[in-house]
Amino acid sequence: MPTSVIDVSSLMGAEPSRPSSQRQGENDGKESVSEACAGCKKPQSELTVPLKRCAKCQTQRYCSRDCQKADWKVHKKICGSNQQNKPKTTDFGAMPKPAGNFFSNLVQDDFLHSLSENDTYIRLIDSYRMRVEDDYKFAADPHGLYDNEDPLEDFQKFLGLAQARKGLLPKWWNGDKRKACERLATDSKQWAFIGAAIEKSDIMEHYGDNLMPMKIRLLAEKIYGKRVQGGL
């Protein structure tokens, strides 16, 4: 399965920690707990990238998405309470905004109808994966791989909503096709694996289409019936 390359500069939409050289006068060269990755425990001075804050509570810091995912099971118990005491700082302005009807016209209700069965499965899966990423990054709303050990249940809810949208799925779609889509989504050897995170750049590179991220985002909007909360 292709490995998703994570751009840590955009991880969690947070500001980087200050370089250790700027902190020497403040703490006499000693690293505090807050200046170490909550996942691997490495201090900023031993890392080659700046630490990033959790987008939801803005207190816990991580050096990579993998470390944040590994720590989420523990951190989620206190993340919500921390966030209640913090002003909302998520940069919703970073979300792409539609211009007139141009983007809306990119994805009609029959967007999936001209695709092969396998390509239909992959578009649905990637639409879901992109939405999971956007909800986590821009709305501090972790679900799927960011909230469960097994994201299949969350993906099944997504497919259920897709089936409820009249005319969205091709006429050949049925229970067996849905199971085939779920099998593909849970195959860790495949590109369309719901256990792996993706970003906008991954989608553009994979499809060779700079508009594909917007297309699958709009598809997810049709399925969920709403945009990323607070994002647009």
* pLDDT at residue 76 is higher than 60: yes
Tokens describing residue 214: 């917007």
| Res 16: pLDDT | 44
Asked if residues 154 and 195 have their Cβ atoms less than 8 Å apart, the reply is no
Res 190: pLDDT: 95
Quick one: pLDDT band at residue 137, thresholds 50, 70, 90? Answer: confident
* Mean of pLDDT values over 47-54: 80
Assign 74 to helix, strand or coil: helix
Q: Which residue has the higher pLDDT, 207 or 100?
A: 207
pLDDT digit string (tens) for 144-155?
A: 998 866 899 999
Assess whether pLDDT exceeds 60 at residue 116. Answer: yes
Query: Which has more pLDDT, 28 or 54?
Result: 54
d(CA 78, CA 85): 11
Cα-based torsion angle of the residue sequence 132, 17, 49, 32 in order, rounded to the nearest 10 degrees: -110
What is the per-residue pLDDT for 91? 45
Q: Give the 3-state secondary structure of residue 36.
A: strand
Average pLDDT over all residues of the chain: 78
Do residues 231 and 134 make contact, with C-beta atoms less than 8 angstroms apart? yes
Please report which helix (H) or strand (E) contains residue 67, including its range: helix 65-84
- Whole-model pTM: value is 0.62
Is the Cβ–Cβ distance between 64 and 12 less than 8 Å?
no
Q: What is the pLDDT of residue 23?
A: 45
Mean pLDDT computed over 186-200: 93
Strand residues in 42-130 grouped as ranges (E):
52-53, 61-62
Averaged pLDDT for residues 173-201? 95
Mean pLDDT for 29-58 is: 75
Q: Is the pLDDT of residue 101 over 80?
A: no
CB-side exposure of 49: number of CA atoms within 13 Å? 16
Please give the structure tokens belonging to residue 94.
Answer: 């970073």
The arithmetic mean of pLDDT across residues 157-185, rounded, is: 97
Q: What pLDDT, on a 0 to 100 scale, did the predictor assign at position 117?
A: 98
Residue 229 CB: number of other CB atoms within 10 A? 14
The long-range contacts involving 186-195, CB below 8 angstroms and separated by at least 24 positions, are 186/152, 188/1, 189/1, 190/1, 191/1, 191/2, 191/122, 192/121, 192/122, 192/125, 192/126, 192/129, 193/1, 194/125, 194/128, 194/129, 194/132, 194/144, 194/145, 194/151, 194/152, 194/155, 195/145, 195/151
What's the pLDDT at 6? Answer: 41
Average pLDDT over residues 8-15: 40
**Residue 105's pLDDT is what?**
55
Domain residue spans of the chain: 8-89, 94-224
